[in-house]
Amino acid sequence: MGKPTGFMEYKRTDFEADSVKERIKNYNEFHTPLSPEQQQQQAARCMECGVPFCQSGMMIGGMMTGCPLNNLIPEWNDLVYKGCWEQAYQRLRKTNNFPEFTSRVCPALCEKACTCGANGDAVTVRSNEYTISERAYAEGFACANPPKVRTGKKIAVIGSGPSGLAAADQLNKRGHSVTVFERSDRVGGLLMYGIPNMKLEKHIIDRRINIMENEGIVFKTNSDIGNNVKASEILEEFDRIILACGASEPRDIKAAGREAKGIYFAVDFLTSTTKSLLDSDLADGTYISAKGKKVIVIGGGDTGNDCVGTCVRHGAESILQLEMMPKLPDERAENNPWPEYPRVCKTDYGQEEAIGVFGSDPRIYQTTVKEFLSDKDGKLIGAVLVRLRPEKDPTSGRTIMKEIEGTEYTVETDLVLIAAGFVGAQNYVTNAFGVDKNARGNVSAQQGSHKTNVEKVFVCGDMHLGQSLVVRAIREGRDAAKEVDESLMGYTNL
């Protein structure tokens, strides 16, 4: 290891965020990277421990611990410390097709499992990854490297989110001819329209797509299989098909008055803002606006937080964020030891911004909407909220949240955003290809496989697993690509 005493000599120093007052003026990324010298010092903190949980990617206590991509983290930390940036990038790219994405949007499972973090502060793995990838672009070693030989096999990837892009990237490197079909007007899927610009600026996606195009991958936008493109044509033209359309069916809220005007799914709200931002810098006014609105966000996950941050930038009058579950502890509980993923309360950027603007945390725990109220024209004017308590389901043993009778109260609202997660793949796509779905709404695959019940058709990403993380989606794409390659060639070196 490069610096045996680095973890004792140097304190953790990470990227600094712009002040709330400054960053809410725009939709740009708002962290200032460290200098290369500072980043090398941070990489020196890596202990290169004998059992690096940071790259384990295993399930412990029902949650993922360490990187699902099994990134070679101690290796490229050492290379960063030594200033070997190009070698560090090559080691990083061996396991991660898109470090420029994950270093921005991943919740850093690696850091949560870092041995340094067991009794202190974890290594800045994510910012090390960011600096490696950005240096690669700045110095030109993140560049197109098309395959020298083509196999003559044609593969269609349906969906251009992280899993679809990863599968396409892997199979193209193998020499297969890959076409990616995307129903939207821009490539990127979840990365493009599901994640706000302040978390992932869209030119970051475009520059990677440009490299992939120069390597020979064909992208077809506005191609909605099952609507304006027939699945039968895809099945006839291509040797293999990979479905990577995501778990894009949003979970609805079943409450009286749901039909009121002013209630939207979070994904539609976020998409409309990003599309308008990219098309016209919001000048066209085509987005769902929260300006001057009393907003309720239903859901406490990453998507709910993204809605809060976006509403703050729109200029909302007020924001409430409802979470059904109890507030998590501020520190690890005894029954949640390292290296398990820490089940602790996290205040993310959107909540920070709401606190900075409105003076209080927008989150209300153990609360949901019982009824939506509307005026005579059907326009949303309020919501009846109710408190919840956790109870054990006698049949399943799972904790369920039950309404507490008599705790109802009414709040004014004229915009509600439902960020309650997703319930699986959309039916029109699965029906078009004739693939089976399981009870959770995901596409069924053979045990331990990505192969569906339809010959030549494979599945990966959220469409296979259900709603998950970008890193897990990339791993899914890589695994599906390996399986597809083996089915075509009889062996695989992916």
Q: Give the domain-ending residue among 358, 384, 418.
A: 418
What CATH number is given to the structural domain containing 25? 1.10.1060.10
Residues 460-472 as b or e (16 or more Cβ within 10 Å = b): bbbbbbbbbbbbb
Residues 270 and 412 both lie in one domain: yes
Query: Taking the model in full, what pTM does it have?
Result: 0.96
As beta bridge partners, residue 32 has: 16
Q: How does pLDDT run across 290-327, given as a tens digit for each residue?
A: 999 999 999 999 999 999 999 999 999 999 999 999 99
Q: How does pLDDT run across 345-369, given as a tens digit for each residue?
A: 999 999 999 999 999 999 999 999 9
Assigned domain for 38 exists: yes
What CATH number is given to the structural domain containing 240? 3.50.50.60
The pLDDT of residue 395: 83
Residues 175 and 272 both lie in one domain: no
User: Considering its fold, how many domains does the chain have in total?
Assistant: 3
Assigned domain for 128 exists: yes
Residues 369 and 278 both lie in one domain: yes
Assigned domain for 148 exists: no
Residues 343 and 225 both lie in one domain: no
Residues 200 and 173 both lie in one domain: yes
Assigned domain for 383 exists: yes
Assigned domain for 1 exists: no
Residues 347 and 390 both lie in one domain: yes
The pLDDT of residue 77: 96
Q: Give the domain-ending residue among 89, 114, 139.
A: 139
Residues 283 and 403 both lie in one domain: yes
Residues 273 and 397 both lie in one domain: yes
The pLDDT of residue 1: 62
Residues 412 and 430 both lie in one domain: no
Q: How does pLDDT run across 407-425, given as a tens digit for each residue?
A: 999 999 999 999 999 999 9
The pLDDT of residue 50: 87
pLDDT above 70 (res 473): yes
pLDDT above 70 (res 2): no
Residues 328 and 227 both lie in one domain: no
Classify residue 296 as exposed, middle or buried by CB count within 10 Å of its CB (0-12, 13-18, 19+). Answer: buried
Assigned domain for 402 exists: yes
Residues 448 and 313 both lie in one domain: no
| Spatial separation of the C-alpha atoms in residues 146 and 339, rounded to whole Å | 40
Q: Pairing state of beta strands 16-17 and 31-32? A: antiparallel
Residues 402 and 292 both lie in one domain: yes
Compute the average pLDDT of residues 134-143.
97
Assigned domain for 147 exists: no
Three-class DSSP labels, the chain: CCCCCHHHHCCCCCCEECCHHHHCCCCCCCEECCCHHHHHHHHCCCCCCCCCHHHCCEEECCEEECCCCCCCHHHHHHHHHCCCHHHHHHHHHCCCCCHHHHHHHCCCHHHHCCHHHHCCCCCCHHHHHHHHHHHHHHHCCCCCCCCCCCCCCEEEEECCCHHHHHHHHHHHHCCCEEEEECCCCCCCCHHHHHCCCCCCCHHHHHHHHHHHHHCCCEEECCCCECCCECHHHHHHHCCEEEECCCCCCECCCCCECCCCECEEEHHHHHHHHHHHHHHHCCCCCCCCCCCCCEEEEECCCHHHHHHHHHHHHHCCCEEEEEECCCCCCCCCCCCCCCCCCCCCCCCCHHHHHHHHHHCCCCEEECEEEEEEEECCCCEEEEEEEEEEEEEECCCCCCEEEEECCCCCEEEECCEEEECCCECCCCHHHHHHHCCCECCCCCECCCCCCCECCCCCEEECCHHHHCCCCHHHHHHHHHHHHHHHHHHHHCCCCC
Full residue range of the structural domain in which residue 438 is found: 154-248+423-489
Q: Give the domain-ending residue among 111, 139, 167.
A: 139
Distance, first Cα to last Cα, the chain: 29
